[in-house]
Structure 1
Amino acid sequence: MSARLLPYPWLSLALWLVWLLLDGSLAVGQVLLGAALALFIPLASRSMYVHGRMHVRRFGLALLVAMRVAVDISLSCWKVCRIILGPEEARRRSGFITIELSIRSVYGMTVLASIVNSTPGTVWTELSADNRILLVHLLDLDEEQAFRRMFHERYEKPLMEIFE
């Protein structure tokens, strides 16, 4: 198929597969409806891709980061439960920290924002005008430097390798 009819084939494939997984059926009607949506949505949203095509440079690393994020979100859920249900002193450790960013890819930064906002206990609150300083609110602000180090090593550096 031409790029005009199928501008983002991987996105179309992902949309179609997610549709089928969420529906839980391989009925002919659902397969066809999912295919129609998978073709129509990228065409209808083509004007939103002002930064050009996203290029994933290291697909294996992207899968590793996705698994890491899933584990971190699960562990963070337990940690947040302990803080909320635990002694009041645990709830007094929340606060804001700033993190200097090295990542420049719009797509990498978008994924980074999704990771931060999907992880219980963290919220991306503000990004400086030059996209270099990130303000994050943490529910458990024990070790600022340890969090910054973990943030750069676990998320930012791998995303830079994937998208830049």
Structure 2
Amino acid sequence: MSSTEPDETPSVPVPPAAPEAPAAPEPPAAPAYGAAPVAAAPAAPAPAAAPAAVPYGAAYAAPGPIEPRALSITAMVCGIVGVVLSFFWLGFLPAAAAVVFGHIAQRRERAAKPFWLTGIITGYAGIAISLLWGLVALVPILFALFLIPAAITYS
């Protein structure tokens, strides 16, 4: 073969050479005797470590936003106060407020079910106790008003 004829074997393209990494800077030389010391540059902060993998997925996930519970807690507190005060003749109004707030919270605050349910139950219980105490007080009054005068006139 002559040197002017091209090679018949296919040539493989050669990838370009990778750029060389820059050389590390040399450490500063020790100061000469009697020279003022040179302040060393502050060390770069270490990179932050990657967070560890959480086992079992979202078991440790952050909680969602907190929903409002004001009506539900108001219903529960009014219901408890209504039951306690019903034994002292003063519980009808807080118990009625507990029932109203509890039913409003039932529609608006679904996530606070234990609170509004407690308010509704104790509210109705406070109303029932108040009505029973009212009947206990009303029966002697009615007896005194109607039966005693009738017994006096017929005797």
Per the normalisation by structure 2, the TM-score is: 0.19
TM-score when scaled to structure 1? 0.18
More relative contact order, 1 or 2 (CA 8 Å, 6+ apart): 1
Between structures 1 and 2, the one with greater strand share: 1
